[in-house]
Structures are given as structure tokens and as C-alpha cells.
Amino acid sequence: MVYVQNMSRIIFCTLLLAAGCSEDATTAGTTQVAASSVSASTSGAGGQGGTPGVGGAAGSGGAPMLPERLVLSGLASGTVGMETVTCDLEGEMIDLALDGNDVTGFFSGEFLRRVEVGQNAFQFEPLVAGPALIDRLTGSAADLYLVGDQPTDAKPYWLEIEVLHAEEVAPYEFEGGWSCAPLEIDGNPPDFTATVTGTFRLAPP
């Protein structure tokens, strides 16, 4: 949900999936956005050393087992001019399966972007859910597709997190940096200018 707070004034904008609000937040009451699916390459480098299974022991050939779920956590914060911005990524990826060397599944979570100027605060809390993909690239690099395929005219917030670039620091443990960009929504304060950076981790609990 989006909470635009200025003393007694609160405006709600409900999101079912990762996409920007389709109406201006100063006039929209409740806007529902249809779910979008992941559209990304599922080709990978191929299996390495056997076929991982599900659980906690090694698969055939000594390859690490595919965990039951992966948990996402991420923080980004900073002050840009008069705006103090705090962002958060929280969620989990379940129903994990291998597609070649890549990992598919279903991601659901709750994100947050809060912009504060003085005593006024703009808070955006979207709920996201849908198909997800971990595209393993060359070496330890990986691209995480957790919020669906975004249109080119989506809000900067969604375009920045459409693909999260990561390194696989251990089997099924992914870490990287991310940018929390503006939503380009009028409010008090409006959210057009401040981008802050931070780190994230997607790994077994």
C-alpha cells in the first residue's frame, strides 16, 4: 500500500503486483494492478557435477541440494537534499526447481519506500507475488527476476528492481547492491528526486 501522510491526510494505493500506480496518488483512492509474469531467459550454463535435489544433503555427484526456500532481505537508505529515504525488501521464494543451471520458483513479499521531509512522510508498501527466476550467468554472477517483467514506462522504482544483479557467494546464497528510486508520485512530500542505494541478500533461512 501507499501511505501519503500529511498530518490528518492519508491516501491508499493498493498494488497486487510489481507495477506503478496507474493514477495520480493525489486523486486515486484504490487502484488494482494486474499481475505480470516473469519474462526472461531460462538458459544457463548447464548442470554442474550432478543433479541437485531438495533438502539439506548433497545430490548425486556431490552437488549441493536445492533448499526448500530462499529468503530475501535488503536495505537502502540515505539523505538527498532535504529528503531522508528508507527502503526495505522482504520476502521469500518457494516452490524451487532447477531449469538447467537456473532456479525457478514463486516469490512473494512486502517492500517499503519511505520519504521524509521535516514532519511530512510519504510511505509506499507494495505487496508483490508471482513467478520468479534466478538466472545464473558466467562464473558466480546471477540476475534475480523477482517482481515480474516491467513495461518501459513503469515508475523508476520498479525499473530499478526489475532485475537485481547478484553474486552467488555460496551455493544458493546471492548477494548484491540495489538502488531504491523514486515513484514519481505527487504527495506531501512528493517523490520525484531521491535515489538511495543499499545491499540485499537472497539465501536459505
Render pLDDT for 42-62 as a digit per residue (tens, 0 to 9).
223 333 333 344 444 344 456
Task: With respect to residue 50, please indicate whether it lies within any of the assigned structural domains.
Answer: no
pTM of full prediction above 0.85:
no
Render pLDDT for 130-173 as a digit per residue (tens, 0 to 9).
999 999 999 999 999 999 999 999 999 999 999 999 999 999 99
Separation of alpha carbons 84 and 3, rounded Å:
16
Task: With respect to residue 14, please indicate whether it lies within any of the assigned structural domains.
Answer: yes
Confidence (pLDDT) at 187: 82
Count of domains in the chain? Answer: 1
Separation of alpha carbons 21 and 157, rounded Å:
11
- C-alpha Rg value of the chain to the nearest Å: 18
Res. 91 pLDDT band, cuts 50 70 90: very high
Task: With respect to residue 131, please indicate whether it lies within any of the assigned structural domains.
Answer: yes
Res. 10 pLDDT band, cuts 50 70 90: very low
Assigned C-alpha cell, 154: 513503469
Number of Cβ atoms within 10 Å of the Cβ of 14: 16
Task: With respect to residue 53, please indicate whether it lies within any of the assigned structural domains.
Answer: no
Task: With respect to residue 180, please indicate whether it lies within any of the assigned structural domains.
Answer: yes
Task: With respect to residue 51, please indicate whether it lies within any of the assigned structural domains.
Answer: no
Q: Which residues span the domain enclosing 153?
A: 2-37+61-203
Task: With respect to residue 52, please indicate whether it lies within any of the assigned structural domains.
Answer: no
**Residue 90 CA neighbour count, 13 Å, CB half:** 9
Number of Cβ atoms within 10 Å of the Cβ of 51: 12
Separation of alpha carbons 29 and 177, rounded Å:
34
Number of Cβ atoms within 10 Å of the Cβ of 59: 18
Task: With respect to residue 166, please indicate whether it lies within any of the assigned structural domains.
Answer: yes
Separation of alpha carbons 44 and 6, rounded Å:
49
